[in-house]
Amino acid sequence: MNKQWLTRGACLLFLAGAITAHAGPAFVQCNGIKDLVFVAHQDDDLLFMNPDIQSTIDSGGCVQVVYLTASERGEGEGYMLGRERGVRSAYSYMAQEPNIWAEDFATIHARRVARFTLHGNKRLQLLHLRLKDPWLGKGWGSLTPLSRTESVVGATVESLGPAAQTYSRSDLVEFIEYIIQDYQPSTIRHMDDSVTVPYERLCWGCAGHSHPDHIASARLVHDAITGHPGNYAEVAYLDYPSQERAANLSATEINQKTEAFRRYAWDDYRYCANASLCREPAGPAAAWVGRAYYVSRHDEAPSLLSRSEGGFLLFAVGEANAAANTWQSVANQWISLGGRTADSIAAFKRNDGRAAVFARDATGLAWVSNQTPAGSWTTWQQVAGSRITSLPVVSTQGPLLAIAMGNDGFLRYAAAQSGTGTWAPWRVMPPLPGVLPQVALAYDNTGASIVFATDGEGRLWHGSYRGDWSPWRQMEVPQTDGGLAAMQNADHVIELYLREKSSGHLLRITQQADAVSGWSQPIDLGVVFINHPTIALNEAGEVAVATLERRDGPLWLIEAGRTIKVATKVGSLPALQTIDGAFHVAARSPEEPQAYWVRVRRHGVWEAPLLLAAPPAHGGGAFQPVPATDVVPIKPLPSRYALQPPLPVTAATRTVATVSARVQP
């Protein structure tokens, strides 16, 4: 064997059957958390995705990191192997385990990739595709093999090492899909796929610019996610441009991130030619270790609430601070509520009329903050019991209830605790095989909270809650792919909206007045839309539904059987709310950088839009942790929770050991 494949200071034990089949760990082995990380280079995860990966490791979760390129920069396998040693040192330090790894080649659908498994914590694995990684020109402004393969039709890229492979773009997307399918993650983490600057125009140090391999890797992963949807969260990370934003990590987070990166840098001679004299992180890396920012999806809806003292509150996650923010119309200014989230946020009214907001951090924990009687906001409080893959849906009528999808594929519910602003821990709902994360929640005239959900087969289900859950019942409707929204109307019956899968049209069905005899025939409203509708009661007490036709497309409003175009082009899903007797519609402006417009209708007349400037650039930071001592395990459910038939439709390997990286060389 070529000696350059041996790790420095290594003790080798060759095992039979070094080529092994690949399978992800069982969910129960991962303490409810399975991170699947895709990056181009061996320092991208350490610089841009921490402290989130560190948090998963500290929580006993599983982490599999997939490095797409060899990262050798055209300097050969020696430099590649040094960088691979470096990330092993970093991860052993993060896991607080001796730097001893089992090395083999995983066979994933007939392709072989190098795999390293940490001996002291087998929940931690590193995979290396080792795609060749020289510049194909003079550096910035030219292509790399990965970016060329991603952007040029018919191009391919080869890998280095003893398991040489050749990949086309479609091969890479398919291979990433296989990895996702095999690993069954709860979170997929990747780089920024939203950069629109052409590869050939990218430059080092230019504001908003990235590395072509970072962009290419993220686009490939995003395409694979589109081809293999599932119950997992997707988190995309800002890379170089994070240095243009305010530091948002705590001193503890910065220290942990710094020490992990330093362990890597000792084995990367471009960072540290002499480990004993190494002062890394320095330069831009010193800025990156103090920051963690997420890629904002521009079409995420804001939230609107009335203010007890008059006026309105608009809520949105700031692209510049990754935090929850609220615009106060009376003060005419934004206030940052803090936190650090990759999702949107869900604002709601508590039973005492005060505003509150839910957020989900990038590790799947749910947090809530409440407005105080003085108008200020409490510190964030964690909702214990489970990690979730999607932002909670919160009831707008009836008892305050939140529904969210757990990492394990079971829907969870949490109830507000009266008068305290706190929430009981997440509890598991009756199982519904193949259930999709997006649900709708309404309140009916029998005093029950009703949850509507769809499954992967296109079926629609509902269940009711009055202190205990009824069995799920299937509803007889055309095949649907979600797009759910529901609300009780002025006649005290629920109107349910959904998307017909075959046509993409918005359908409406209405609960019968006695709430038990079934539902009306679906009515096709003839509107095509993306994501899901927004629903609220307008100033006349009628149900109003708003839909976004396509991204950066028209916004439609459906009321009392009429459909009107509110705007020709909007940048996000809308928010709706009746405030002080006037109907409010808010959405992101497609032209201004994260500006929001608000249109108000009084006495049937629309006023001129009000344009709100972007949320602040400062104020983000970690959610303050609260010990989660009341964790509710999943227990077997009684037989009464068996699924019910549809309701009738009425007329109506080798071991590699290296010197532990805990000791300063």
Residues 109-132 pLDDT 10s: 899 999 999 999 999 999 999 999
- CA count, 13 A, side-chain hemisphere, 301: 21
Q: How far apart are CA 263 and CA 663, in angstroms?
A: 9
List the one residue out of 44, 73, 53, 91 whose CA is nearest residue 658: 91
Q: How far apart are CA 5 and CA 344, in angstroms?
A: 46
Contact call for residues 260 and 288 (beta carbons, < 8 A):
no
Contact call for residues 95 and 124 (beta carbons, < 8 A):
yes
Between β-strands 562-567 and 555-559, what pairing exists: parallel, antiparallel or unpaired? antiparallel
Residues found in the chain: 665
Buried b / exposed e along 35-74 (16+ C-beta atoms within 10 A): bbbbbbbbbbbbbbbbbbbbbbbeeebbbbbbbbbbbbbe
Domain locations in the chain as residue ranges: 11-288, 303-627+635-641
Give, in degrees to the nearest 5, the angle at Cα 275 between 269 and 277: 115
Contact call for residues 533 and 547 (beta carbons, < 8 A):
yes
Query: What are the structure tokens assigned to 39, written together?
Result: 């990056």
Q: At what angle do helices 169-183 and 212-227 cross, to 10 degrees?
A: 60
Residue 201 has a CB neighbour count (10 Å cut-off) of 10
Q: How far apart are CA 359 and CA 349, in angstroms?
A: 15
Partners of residue 462 on adjacent β-strands: 452, 473
Res 517: pLDDT? 60
Could you read off the pLDDT of 615-657 as tens digits, one per residue? 999 999 999 753 333 333 333 344 444 455 554 444 434 344 4
Res 24: pLDDT? 78
Contact call for residues 286 and 304 (beta carbons, < 8 A):
no
Res 643: pLDDT? 52
Which distant-in-sequence residues (6+ apart) come within 8 Å of 394 by Cβ? Answer: 346, 348, 358, 400, 401, 402, 441
Q: Which amino acid is at 299?
A: D
Res 113: pLDDT? 96
Contact call for residues 439 and 451 (beta carbons, < 8 A):
yes
Q: How far apart are CA 62 and CA 42, in angstroms?
A: 19
Q: What does 421-489 look like in DSSP terms, one character per residue?
A: S-BPPPEEPPP-TTB-S--EEEE-TTS-EEEEEEBTTS-EEEEEESSSBPPPEEE--S-B----EEEE-
Contact call for residues 486 and 452 (beta carbons, < 8 A):
yes
- Separation in Å, CA 141 to CA 42, 133, 540: 22, 15, 58
Phi and psi of 41, rounded to 5°? -125, 165
Architecture of domain 11-288: 3-Layer(aba) Sandwich (3.40)
List the one residue out of 532, 522, 506 whose CA is nearest residue 453: 532
- Give pairs for 541-544: CB < 8 Å, separation 24+: 541/490, 542/489, 542/490, 543/487, 543/489, 543/495, 544/576, 544/583
Residue 7 has a CB neighbour count (10 Å cut-off) of 21
Q: Which residues of the chain have pLDDT under 70?
A: 1-23, 514-517, 625-665
Architecture of domain 303-627+635-641: 6 Propeller (2.120)
Block residue for tokens 């280095």: 160
Res 606: pLDDT? 94
